[in-house]
Amino acid sequence: MSTTLRSGLSQARSNWAMLALFLGAFVVGTAELVVVGVLNIIVKDMGVSISTAGTLVTAYSLGISIGGPVLAALTIKFGRRFLLWLSFLAYVLGNVAAAFAVNFGMLVTARIITGALHGLFMGVAFAVAGALVPPERMGRAIAVVFGGFAVSTALGLPLGNLIGQGFGWQAAFGAVIILGVIALIAAVAFIPQVPNAGTGGIGAQAKHALAPRVLAVLAVGFLLLGGQYAALTYITPFLEQVTGISGSLIGAFLLAYGIANAIGTFGGGWAADRNPSRTLIIANIVLILALGGLWLMGDAPVMVAIALFVWGVVGFGLVPSLQHRVVTLAGPGRDLAATLPQSAVTAGIAIGALVGGLAVEAYGPPAAVITGLIAFAIALPGVWAISFLKVPDFGEAESSSTDDDTTASSSVPASN
């Protein structure tokens, strides 16, 4: 006998819906990170410096951090399923524009646009996933969606690197487009209609989504992910110049990091359902130890592989806890708030990639790792402080939202 979940779906139907969300996240994760694997090719093809090419990461991240919430605000009344479809279709088309960019300016513009659509899609995907499971499994639902992004670092990034190195960076984007079409078909076929989880219009939602307690958690996410990408964006030159490896070995090291991301993300969902605050504290401490080891023993390949693996496990493993805390603390503003962790962490990624690039140009690849360590050290007191934040009593607004969700979720209509 099949199990009926909160959404009114059978367990099997819910699993197919979660798989579609996973695939969509895999595509956007691959598209975001594929640039890292082909940065050297873009430098040669476009005739720009390594730091200038690194702004493609910054541009995409700024698209997510600014454009994502703006698009979410403009579409706050849209049905979640329709918005999921629409945002992903536009995302695929944006990557088509990137693949056919004839100069660096066009490529940067395409990255900004796709970044904004990425932010919107992921926020909606988290909201849909949360509506498909009981509240006590929200962390694991978040982990499944973000797991698609994590697996993209294990498979999408290395494969994109191989395709790009062999056939050009445009071919890497072409692979993303093909995967995007497949994921879009899956979303149309399997994603059911779910209720909007927040209450009221943009003003009412912003009141809760932008409350100081939520902004404090977002600031922590900014530092933790920004510090990681200050180092990760320039990990290839670090491996080449400090560790002394090249070619396929770099792909193998990135694969180890990506596999660790996937493991950490799914484990992080389990940890988020138990104690998200404690998970964030532990992750911050381990990140300091991992990057410290990378800096101190960067010339020892085995130790570097271990440091990358540990970094990968906790680096993405903290994301479900971050998302969980933001959505929970936002209460009635959770539909808008669902896009904000992506905005905060990718703003951190943008600044981290920029500062990391400046550090590399001035002092060489090890400086990017030091930049990450400084960000983690600054974040630690904040991570400890937000562990004391309590979820407020949202009163009638929250009760109404819960009642509406329960009513609307009792059946799954056939249309938007």
Q: Max Cα separation, the chain?
A: 64
Amino acid, res. 71: L
Tell me the backbone φ, ψ of residue 10, rounded to 5 degrees: -70, 160
Rounded to a whole number of angstroms, the distance between the first and last alpha carbons of the chain is 28
Closest by alpha carbon to 94, among 48, 63, 122, 124?
A: 63
Instruction: Give the C-alpha separation, 386 to 201, whole Å.
Output: 28
Predicted local confidence at residue 407, as pLDDT = 30
Instruction: Give the C-alpha separation, 336 to 75, whole Å.
Output: 10
Kindly report the pTM of this predicted structure: 0.75
Crossing angle for the helix pair 11-37 and 80-99, nearest 10 degrees? 30
Could you tell me which residues come within 8 angstroms of residue 364 by beta carbon, excluding any fewer than 6 positions away? 241
Instruction: Give the C-alpha separation, 160 to 217, whole Å.
Output: 33
Could you tell me which residues come within 8 angstroms of residue 330 by beta carbon, excluding any fewer than 6 positions away? 208, 209, 211, 214, 336, 337
Instruction: Give the C-alpha separation, 161 to 33, whole Å.
Output: 10
Written as six digits, the tokens of 286 are: 């381990």
The whole-number mean pLDDT for each consecutive block of 10 residues of the chain, a chain of 416 residues, reads: 50 80 91 80 79 80 83 80 89 91 88 91 85 78 83 75 81 90 90 67 78 92 92 88 84 82 85 89 95 90 91 90 88 80 80 88 90 94 88 55 33 33
Predicted local confidence at residue 197, as pLDDT = 58
Amino acid, res. 270: W
Distances (CA, A) of 54 to 108, 125, 146, 318: 10, 28, 24, 25
Cβ–Cβ < 8 Å for 283, 318: yes
Distances (CA, A) of 228 to 214, 224, 356: 22, 7, 10
Cβ–Cβ < 8 Å for 233, 368: yes
